[in-house]
């Protein structure tokens, strides 16, 4: 009996925080292809179509996105094309070749007025352009049908790229005082955890007893467990810094949202209920503080 050919997995946005981690985590599932931005420009539908039809992958993982939340308020067209329209093009191409599509969305599809973590069937109500564009992307995929997994996540960070962890580590060395918003809550989520959970979920659907037919498709919340404010996150980063003698700021100052105005309005509650993901894929999701400790320990070892 001949061995089935390993699936080919195409990853967009491979140079980003999640994309970079996906290259390693997905390698155990098949052959990973990571086209450059020039080859797959999510703002240019023709490049998407050309690349998908040339590669004909078994799985498409869309880790590319427009993520500059404040800049999106004045770059509505570009943000909408990348986050809202490109996922629909990817879904069309995936359906045409019978491929699975994995796509990432955000807690910013909600307005944050809930007193409890949001579930997948709660009504979205984005407060900003970025959130509206990501919601449009979700709906474009759902309307196309086919086989897909949409993962909403939140407060993504990692040891590389542009993110809150790296910003706080830099600023705590440059400034004696850091004023951090304390009345927005969420679950900081490590990019490596997102990639590992994605690989786990894909393994489940690809190795199902019956061939993929779209019946296992769906929308899932995928974040770390626990909760904290941006202030809590910042102070935990400072407290766990692997090189404390370099710090100028040891204690952040909590402030209210209205003391730190931004172009885009943020939800006060970004917590997502991950029960559906945990029950469907039989995977526990660790507390955000445990994840942060692992990242900081890795920085201590490698820097």
Q: Which of 1-5, 64-68, 216-220 has the highest mean pLDDT?
A: 64-68
Pairing of strands 8-12, 228-229: unpaired
Distance, CA of 173 to CA of 176 (rounded, Å):
8
- Residue 204 vs residue 134, higher pLDDT: 134
- pLDDT score of 6: 75
pLDDT of 209 over the 60 cut: no
- pLDDT score of 210: 45
pLDDT band at 303 (very low <50, low <70, confident <90, very high): low
237-258 confidence digits (pLDDT tens) = 999 998 999 999 999 999 999 9
pLDDT of 3 over the 90 cut: no
pLDDT band at 215 (very low <50, low <70, confident <90, very high): low
| pLDDT above 70 coverage of the chain, percent | 95
- Residue 233 has φ and ψ, to the nearest 5°, of -65, -45
pLDDT of 133 over the 90 cut: yes
- Residue 212 vs residue 19, higher pLDDT: 19
Whether 59 contacts 102, CB under 8 Å? yes
Where would I find the beta strands (DSSP E) of 38-146? 59-62, 100-106
Whether 237 contacts 180, CB under 8 Å? no
Residues 6+ apart with CB under 8 A from 43: 78, 81, 82, 86
- pLDDT score of 5: 63
Pairing of strands 228-229, 185-186: antiparallel
Q: Look at 129-138, 176-185, 199-208, 276-285 and tell me which has the smallest mean pLDDT.
A: 199-208
Token pair recorded at residue 214: 């779209």
Q: Which domains does the chain have, with CATH numbers?
A: 8-302 (3.40.50.720)
pLDDT band at 206 (very low <50, low <70, confident <90, very high): confident
Average pLDDT, the chain: 92
Distance, CA of 301 to CA of 258 (rounded, Å):
39
Catalytic positions are: 130
Q: What is the mean pLDDT of residues 35-43?
A: 92
């Amino acid at each position: 009996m001949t061995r089935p050919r390993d699936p080919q997995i195409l990853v967009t946005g491979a140079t980003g925080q999640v994309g970079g981690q996906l290259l390693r985590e997905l390698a155990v599932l098949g052959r990973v292809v990571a086209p450059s931005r020039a080859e797959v420009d999510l703002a240019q539908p023709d490049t998407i179509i050309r690349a998908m039809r040339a590669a004909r992958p078994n799985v498409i993982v869309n880790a590319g996105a427009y993520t500059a939340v404040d800049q999106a308020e004045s770059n509505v067209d570009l943000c909408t094309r990348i986050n809202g329209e490109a996922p629909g093009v990817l879904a069309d191409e995936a359906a045409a070749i019978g491929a699975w599509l994995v796509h990432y969305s955000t807690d910013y599809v909600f307005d944050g007025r809930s007193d409890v973590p949001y579930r997948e069937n709660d009504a979205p109500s984005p407060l900003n352009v970025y959130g509206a564009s990501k919601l449009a992307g979700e709906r474009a995929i759902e309307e196309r049908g086919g086989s897909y997994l949409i993962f909403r996540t939140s407060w993504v960070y990692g040891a590389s790229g542009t993110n809150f962890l790296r910003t706080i580590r830099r600023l705590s060395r440059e400034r004696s005082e850091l004023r951090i918003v304390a009345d927005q809550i969420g679950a900081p989520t490590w990019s490596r955890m997102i990639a590992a959970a994605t690989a786990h979920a894909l393994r489940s659907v690809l190795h199902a007893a019956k061939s993929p037919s779209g019946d296992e498709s769906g929308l899932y919340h995928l974040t770390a467990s626990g909760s904290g404010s941006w202030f809590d996150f910042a102070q935990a980063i400072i407290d766990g810094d692997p090189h404390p003698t370099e710090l100028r700021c040891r204690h952040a100052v909590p402030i209210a949202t209205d003391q730190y105005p931004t172009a885009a309005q943020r939800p006060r509650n970004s917590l997502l209920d991950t029960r559906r993901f945990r029950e469907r894929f039989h995977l526990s999701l660790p507390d955000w503080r445990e994840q942060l400790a692992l990242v900081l320990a890795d920085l201590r070892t490698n820097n």
